[in-house]
Structure formats: structure tokens, C-alpha cells
Amino acid sequence: MAQPKYSTHLGMVDILPDEIRKWQFLENLIREEAHKFNFEEIRTPIMEQTELIVRGLGQLTDIVSKEIFAFSRGDDNYVLRPELTAPVVRAYVENHLDQRGGSQKLYYIGPMFRAERPQKGRQRQFHQFGVEVIGSSDAVSDVEVIAFMIHIYHKIGITNTTLKLNSIGDPDSREAYKDALRTYLKPNYEKLSEISKKRFEKNPLRILDSKEEEDQPLIENAPLITDYLNEESVSHYSRVKEYLTDLGISFEEDPYLVRGMDYYTQTAFELISPDLGAQDALAGGGRYDLLIEEIGGQPTPAVGFAAGIERLFIACEELGIDLGGEKEVDVYIVTLGDHARRWGLKQLPKLREKGVSATMDYMGRSMKAQMKDANRENARYAIIVGENELNEGKFTFRDMKESKEEALSFEEISNLLAEQSA
RNA sequence: GAGCUCGUAGCUCAGUUGGUUAGAGCGCCAGGUUGUGGCCCUGGAGGCCGUGGGUUCAAUUCCCAUCGGGCUCCCCA
């Protein structure tokens, strides 16, 4: 096929009418369920100051060091948001949301941007939904966040997932563990993969989830973070696990689970699906008790997760779950001739006012073509109108599913339709 | 950033061992029915065979590059 003159940027896709229904279905579901959990929606700008993202996520993270879309204009630096935790925290601090009292229970849905090489389950513009609970250090908030995440997938029918859980402790625990890890790795430093060598000084934790062949034996025998958690961290972690058990949410402890952003503390979790291929994380999150202060607010504990919408859809496809349903319209007015056409145009608003979805031909086509169109549009009923009907004031009201029709006044038809759509 | 692989109509794909007007199914449009859809029949529109260059008398077919898709590594949603 000839190449179109213009196209989307690499890794960015159009969401077309035939697929929009599943997006709307999911978005509605998220909003309804979030409401049940008493989470409130927050929307922040698509662009943030570069400094917020760099400070928030950490200079050395992959996202910041190589996956950011950034540009400057005058003295201002802009970055397309790669995730929403840091922006939500920025909004929390900037707008003094702590003054609303209690903990803030926020959720979001929207596009994110990362300049990666696209592949299955990975685009440069992709969509996430997520939740941030800011202000509580109680394990109840960790567990509610996880419960909401799982709840959404279960509602949809994605149940063959694994919740991976770990604690990376508070900063003291983590420093103690990093030291232990370095001490352990040092004698074997030369055996480490190149990439792990780079991580050795700055973020040895990340060596743990290295997939390099040569690192595996070293990782196997490495000390575990779990053994270096201080009392407070241990107690928080065990409460999280207890509460999850109370709720009947099963999990798999994974002492090697280390998340990509620097702001995480204590609880870390990921929801994995076997249906996704190489990119198997449906959602991930954790606690980030230091981020608010890092960004310039009061020290405030918080926990949240982010979930990939495209990956959710991939899982649905693999499982044969259809979220969209058919497009449909209540009634299609089929008109013959100019009089009928003008009559039809005038009836449309009356029907819509009664809550009935209604349409008609825009192209002046033959009756047959209009019927075909009504069928394609999945119209439940058709109103057929020509000179005869106009003269008699009785219109042909056709049930497209039953293939039955009767002559009725417009009044009678619109009442019937209004009843049906009520 | 690296590797593998693919690129023919709107979609799914045949095909050309290099040679006159490149095919099918589905979809789209129209007709068969002068006022009736979904089935059926007939016809039509729609491709410089992703783009650029090279080899050749001749390239959609061979070679190179490039762009795009898919998959993988890295990392994450």
C-alpha cells in the first residue's frame, strides 16, 4: 500500500471507533469501582517540569536517564509525564490537599509517555490507571490499594494473575542491606555482568532482578533484604501480609522484587499475568514514604499503584474476554423523497429528547441502501417514511430483529421507543 | 541502544523460478426487488507489490539502504 503522507509517531497509535467501546467500558468500570472505594479522580497536565520527574523518580533510573520526552521553550523545561505518582504528589503539595484533612484517596486514568523501543505491550504513548493514597502509613492503606487493583482485574474476569510482594524496608534498613549486598558481591565483582557492575555502587538492589546469565549464581546466594529489615519495617510488612490474608488475597513473596523508581520504600508489589509474553507486568506499585518530602512537602507517607491499560486489553484478548460489545442505535429513520427526509430530520431531536438514540441517512441513498445501513448500524428499529405515510400520518415501524412491522402514528412510535430505552 | 523477522487492495493473504492488462476471500458501492436489511446472484470501484538506490534489455520478484510492523534483550505498565 502506498505510504500515507502523514502518520503517527513511532510507538503511538490511534484508538479508532471500533475499539473505543472497550476503552469506555473500562473507564466507566474504573470510575464506578473507584467510587465504591471512595477514591476521587485527579487530572494533572500531560506535561510537567523536567526537574520534578528527575528528582521524583531518580536521576539514575532507566525512565529518567533514557526514556523521557523532554524539550525546552524559553527558560522552561517540559517533559511528557512518564508516570503519574510524582505529578500527583506535586499536585498534592502545590494545592495543599493535606488541608482537606485525613488521607487523600486519589485515582487517575490517562496517557503516559516513554521513549522506548515499542513491542508487544509496550508503546511510547500508553495508558495507565492508578491510585495514590497520600497521608497514611498504616498497612490498611497498602492493602486497600492492592485490593482495589486486584478488584478491577477480577471484575473483568482476569483472575489467573500472580501478586508478587516484597518489602524493601525503610531507608535505614535499605542502607544496611545495600552494605551487606556490596560486601557479599565485592569478592565476586569481576564475575558480574557489565550492567550489574554499573549498578554496584549506586543501586545494588537492582542487581537482584538482573536477567543476565552470569549474575544468576551470585544472586541465588545473595543475602536477602528480608533479613535486614528493622523492627518497624518487619512489623509493617507482616501487617500487610496479614491483612491481605484476611481479605483472601493470595500473594507470592519475592525477595528479589525491586521496582524501577527510586522513591519506593517498604511495600513493593507487582501483578503478573502469564498471558502477556515478555512484558508480563499488568500493574505495579508500592509505598513511597519519602517522595512528598523529596518534592518539597511535609514528610508524608503514601502508597499507590499504576496499571497498564493496553496490557489489560492484551490479557483480555488472550482470555477471550470481550469488553466492548456491539455498537447500536435505538432507531434509524429510513426516508423516501425530499419531504420524508425533511420530516425525518425534524423528528430526530424529538426522539433524542426522550432518551432515544436516533439517526438517519446522510447521503440521500436508496431505500435498500438505507435499510442495509440500518442493519449495519445495528439499529433496533427502523421508521420507514414516504409519501404514503406522510399523507396518512401512520408510519411503518419495523422491528429489525423480529422482522415485523406495523403502522403507527409518530406519537405511538416515540412513546414505545421511550419506554424501551427507559 | 542491540538482535531476529516481516512489508502485495480498507482487512486477511495467494502469486510472479526476473518478461505483456498482479489475483482470491471478506469489506465497500451499485443492480437483481417499481418502497424494505441480514442469505443468495451479478457487476463495479480500489494496488506505481512500504520508500529510495543498484544489477539487468527488463525488477513487485535479485542486491543494498531506509522507513514501518512483529518478536527478543535491556527495563517497565
DSSP A17-35: HHHHHHHHHHHHHHHHHHH
Instruction: Answer whether residue A9 shows pLDDT above 50.
Output: yes
Residue A369 Cβ < 7 Å to strand B: yes
Which nucleotide does the CA of A283 lie closest to, via C1'?
Answer: B77
Contacts with A414 (C-beta within 8 Å, 6 or more apart), sequence order:
A347, A350, A351, A354, A356
Residue A76: what are its φ and ψ, rounded to 5°? Answer: -95, 140
- pLDDT of A222 reads 82
Q: Provide the pLDDT confidence category of residue A4 given band limits of 50, 70 and 90.
A: low
Are A145 and A285 a contacting pair, CB within 8 Å? Answer: yes
Instruction: Answer whether residue A255 shows pLDDT above 80.
Output: yes
Instruction: Answer whether residue A259 shows pLDDT above 70.
Output: yes
Nucleotides of B under 7 A from a protein CB: 1-3, 8-11, 28-31, 33-38, 47-48, 50-51, 67-77
Helices (H), A37-170: 50-57, 62-66, 85-94, 139-156
Instruction: Answer whether residue A2 shows pLDDT above 50.
Output: no
The amino acid present at A124, given as its one-letter code, is R
CA-angle at A304, arms to A299 and A307, nearest 5°:
150
Residue A10 Cβ < 7 Å to strand B: yes
- pLDDT of A322 reads 87
Joined grid coordinates for residue A319? 482470555
Between CA A151 and C1' B18 the distance (Å) reads 61
Residue A370: strand, helix, or coil: helix
Q: Provide the pLDDT confidence category of residue A1 given band limits of 50, 70 and 90.
A: very low
Summary mean pLDDT of chain A? 90
Give the mean pLDDT of A290-298: 93
Helices (H), A247-336: 291-294, 309-319
Which carries the bigger pLDDT value, residue A408 or residue A278? A408
Which of A1-15, A44-58, A127-141, A154-168 has the lowest average pLDDT? A1-15
- pLDDT of A177 reads 87
- pLDDT of A3 reads 57
CA atoms within 13 A on the CB side of A100: 12
Are A165 and A257 a contacting pair, CB within 8 Å? Answer: yes
- pLDDT of A211 reads 64
- pLDDT of A199 reads 72
Domain with CATH 3.30.930.10 in chain A: 17-170+230-319
Which carries the bigger pLDDT value, residue A66 or residue A32? A32
Which nucleotide does the CA of A206 lie closest to, via C1'?
Answer: B75
- pLDDT of A328 reads 92
- Confirm or reject CATH 3.90.1150.10 for domain A329-421, answering yes or no: no
Give the mean pLDDT of A45-69: 86
Instruction: Answer whether residue A212 shows pLDDT above 70.
Output: no
Instruction: Answer whether residue A236 shows pLDDT above 70.
Output: yes
Give the mean pLDDT of A386-409: 94
Residue A212 Cβ < 7 Å to strand B: yes
Which carries the bigger pLDDT value, residue A384 or residue A254? A384
Q: Provide the pLDDT confidence category of residue A231 given band limits of 50, 70 and 90.
A: very high
The amino acid present at A32, given as its one-letter code, is E
Rounded CA-CA distance A106/A89 in Å is 10
- pLDDT of A289 reads 94
Residue A123 Cβ < 7 Å to strand B: yes
DSSP structure class, residue A1: -
Domain A17-170+230-319 class in CATH: alpha beta
Residue A311 Cβ < 7 Å to strand B: yes
Decide the pairing of beta strands A76-80 and A47-49.
antiparallel
Instruction: Answer whether residue A313 shows pLDDT above 80.
Output: yes
Give the mean pLDDT of A49-58: 89
CB atoms within 10 A of CB A83: 19
Between CA A1 and C1' B22 the distance (Å) reads 13
Residue A416: strand, helix, or coil: helix
Domain with CATH 3.40.50.800 in chain A: 329-421
Residue A312: strand, helix, or coil: helix
